[in-house]
Structure 1
Amino acid sequence: MEELTKMGATVTELRFALDTFYFLISGVLVMWMAAGFAMLEAGLVRSKNTTEILTKNICLYAIACTMFLLVGYNIMYVDNAEGGWLPTLSTFIGTQADGADHALESDFFFQVVFVATAMSIVSGAVAERMKLWAFLIFTVVLTGFIYPVEGFWTWGGGFVSKLGFVDFAGSGIVHMAGAAAAVAGVLLLGARKGKYGPNGQVNPIPGSNLPMATLGTFILWMGWFGFNGGSQLLVSDAENASSVAKIFVNTNSAAALGAISALIVCRILWGKADLTMILNGALAGLVAITADPLSPSLPVAALIGLLAGGLVVFSIVMLDKICFDDPVGAVSVHGVAGLFGLMLVPFSNSDATFSGQLLGAAIIFAWVFSTSFVVWLVLKKTMGIRVSEEEEYLGMDVADCGIDAYPEFVTVKGS
């Protein structure tokens, strides 16, 4: 009997170690998505804005990690009332619960990289005309307070989680939330100079480095296996391991069909294979399947990606027609495809309801958009959020960073 007890304790410890390790490695994959966002955005902006967009991406990651450690995780998960709406406010991440499946610190690490993902979405949408320091101040508020509150309402056991709302890995909680904050910023910021003509015509502003943007997309695609697969939380038994394997395959299929769908739509509409649309098609497929990458069958997951990849092309075109300037298509990829993915969940998951999905999405969007709008507005009225016309013309690298990403293309003064 004593030997059986020891053996049981050893198995429990091994499962704890394995699940903790899996959680940490999944978090590392999601952290690697920060590099993906940085490369994607740097490739889709003009060369004169490259250093600034890279600065924003590394700084937002650092700020997100700091704010979520100080207050964000506590707001989202620690000592909150089940089904409540008002979170507690304290500091740091609490203490390890008895009988936990994994180390508390591994859960924090996995969650903090999700916060940085949400903020990265905002970075691309407001690129090429927003002041660096205004953006970083907003990052403090979003990652420390705005995101954690809606995170408590959903994943933290708050009232939205009781409405029949299901979001497995964050199509709404992470991606649509980031898009909502981006919409508020873009509305107050306005379009880039020269993007739209006086009669509403759209003037394309090509990115500077499509190889870099493509590399960024592949990095994001890879990181998404940690994003969705890690959200299963456990891998130390046959059932959970099989679920993780299915999540990986569904995630990959949705991305692949999203890219193919965007390729076909571009061919039908314009007779060309638009690389930027294909990249966004793959990302839209990933965002859509994130709402529930486990419940759908393999063919259904592929269909979700197929539909999302086509949808994002039309969304990007439509937003351009209403003069909504989003340099990287972030709102379409993460907002439109995120909502689309949420609304498909009830077709394959009986725990979700259409009314619960719609209400949950509306609450997330309303909260993040309204609070973000207020913060952006305060920043606009105080320090300003947009650079001057001259600074925008010369480029954000000169205005905010003083370092050119491609100095060989810059004329040296006095030469």
Structure 2
Amino acid sequence: MPPFDQAAKRIFGRVGSWAGLACIPLAIGIVVTWSMAAHAQDELTAADVQTVLDNIWVLIAAFLVIFMNAGFAMVETGFCRQKNAVNILTKNLLVFALATLSFWFIGFSLMFGGLAGNGWIGWGGIFLGGPAENYGLETGTGLTKDTFFLFQAAFAGTAATIVSGAVAERVKFLDFVIFSVLLTAIAYPITGHWLWGGGWLAEIGFHDFAGSTIVHSVGGWAALMGAALLGPRMGKYTSEGQVSALPGHNLSIATLGCLILWLGWFGFNPGSQLAADLAVPYIAVTTNIAAAAGGMAATLTSWTLSGKPDLSMSINGILAGLVGVTAGCYVVGYAGAFWIGLVAGVIVVFSVGFFDSIKIDDPVGATSVHLVCGIWGTLAVGLFANGNNFTQAGAEDAIVGLFYGGGVGQLGAQILGVLSIGLFTVVATTIFWMVLKNTLGIRVSPEEEMKGLDIGEHGMEAYSGFLKDTTDMTGVM
């Protein structure tokens, strides 16, 4: 053997020996860790596993709801004109950040705090302070305070972003930011406490499983008040009272936004079960049936009225079906979900026309989708709850609607809930908008509106150079 080979053999032989020695503690560590894991597994209970699964599922659901902000941004941007795209995207991007901070500061406490709360308003401490028990949770079992907060903060953000669409293309950015904070820190948490915080509506049996009224109608009422006080966009209505179309610039992105929202709703509704159990797939199916029925109903209705299938109405019909079934997705049957979605899809088409007839300018139909169909869906619980399916966790009795022999009791509770939450939200949000209007002024100047909010409010364009390039191509064959 050559000297070089002999030297290499000695060197690598030593390395191999040292490597072998180094593997000994590694092997010991593996054996010890495995033994400890096996011992821990022996002590792990079914309740521990369920707690972990519950928290993981609700976190995933929260992520889906948060992702819905992308859907709202795309639908609103696509339905509006390109000169306002940056403004709309900015509002929808920041609204969840605003909701998170305001809800963390005080909104979560006002909604779920039971330490010093009552049937009308909660209180558990600012900045998410205090133990889990302050918010109706138990330490060591069920959802952690962090999981529950993130899921509820996502819902608060949804209520705020609904407003963005109805006031689009003419509201001042700063005023929208301030209003969003007030809505998610004060108005939304107070009415939410009445039901989800164990307040007085919960005591009378009002049922809104995932928020047709608590989230969507609250956002819709706030949007309606804002749109009414702002007034219509320039050129929307003629002096003769005719409606002038101000078409959106990108229905492709609006369609993608609708599909994102449809997907996100599988976090919104099934996630509201707040547990990983067999009710989750059932809720997902009722949600999907209502969305499909709403989309088809709106398409056929608009087709009948105008002679052409309207894509924008198809989009809003799907969203209307989703909003409608949100209240009763846990207590209605498949047939009930179908009829709720179907009626919502028809209602949304006529509702858009109604608001135009009274000159309430809503560029995306937010009031029709979220307010009108949210009210319908909440009332529909009193009609279609069949009492034979799953009941809300913690409920003592099955919820039975009028059509299934339950009488008018449940319907009466639903009507009272809709009216009381609507009245409070109208009063509170009108005060918010009026204060802003009389101090900062909530509407941009006519010059800014004509030029577009992208330039006037942000000093940038979503499609930089697009108009210039189009102008340069004029007359070119």
Q: Provide the TM-score with structure 2 as the length reference.
A: 0.82
Contact persistence 1:280–1:329 (CA under 8 A): yes
Which of 82, 94, 102 matches 1:47? 82
Corresponding residue number in structure 2 for 1:326: 362
Corresponding residue number in structure 2 for 1:113: 154
Q: Equivalent pairs: percent with the same residue?
A: 45
Displacement of 1:284? 0.2
Contact persistence 1:316–1:329 (CA under 8 A): yes
Within the alignment, does 1:131 sit opposite 2:172 as a pair?
yes
Which of 264, 280, 291 matches 1:244? 280
Mean alpha-carbon deviation: is it higher for 390-399 or for 400-409?
A: 400-409
Corresponding residue number in structure 2 for 1:209: 250
Displacement of 1:339? 0.3
Corresponding residue number in structure 2 for 1:161: 202
Displacement of 1:82? 7.3
Corresponding residue number in structure 2 for 1:263: 299
Corresponding residue number in structure 2 for 1:305: 341
Contact persistence 1:52–1:400 (CA under 8 A): yes
Contact persistence 2:110–2:121 (CA under 8 A): no
Q: Which runs of 5+ in 2 are unaligned?
A: 1-37, 133-137, 388-397, 401-409, 473-477
* Matched AA of 2:375: L
* Matched AA of 2:346: G
* Matched AA of 1:280: N
Corresponding residue number in structure 1 for 2:322: 286
Contact persistence 1:81–1:158 (CA under 8 A): no
- Secondary structure of 2:49's counterpart equals helix
Corresponding residue number in structure 1 for 2:399: 351
Displacement of 1:92? 2.3
Contact persistence 1:152–1:158 (CA under 8 A): yes
Q: Provide the TM-score with structure 1 as the length reference.
A: 0.94
Distance 1:181 1:206 in 2: 24
Mean alpha-carbon deviation: is it higher for 11-20 or for 213-222?
A: 11-20
Displacement of 1:100? 2.9
Q: Deviations over 1:46-89 (max 9, x none)?
A: 00000000011111111101111111111111225676113326
Corresponding residue number in structure 2 for 1:73: 108
Corresponding residue number in structure 1 for 2:91: 56
Distance 2:426 2:179 in 1: 13
Corresponding residue number in structure 2 for 1:365: 422
Contact persistence 1:83–1:162 (CA under 8 A): no
Contact persistence 1:82–1:159 (CA under 8 A): no
- Secondary structure of 1:407's counterpart equals coil
Q: How many residues align?
A: 406
Displacement of 1:249? 0.7
Q: Deviations over 1:180-220 (max 9, x none)?
A: 11111111100000000111100011001000000000000
Displacement of 1:8? 7.1
Spell out the pairing of 1:381-392 with structure 2 (5 A cutoff). Answer: 381-392=438-449
* Structure 1 residues 276 and 13, CA gap change in structure 2 (3 angstroms): same
Displacement of 1:409? 2.4
Q: Deviations over 1:19-44 (max 9, x none)?
A: 00001000000001010000110101
Contact persistence 1:36–1:220 (CA under 8 A): yes
The runs of 4+ residues in structure 1 deviating greater than 2 Å are: 5-10, 79-83, 86-90, 96-100, 349-352, 408-412
Within the alignment, does 1:399 sit opposite 2:440 as a pair?
no
Contact persistence 2:116–2:124 (CA under 8 A): no
Larger radius of gyration: 2
Contact persistence 2:331–2:399 (CA under 8 A): no
Displacement of 1:232? 0.8
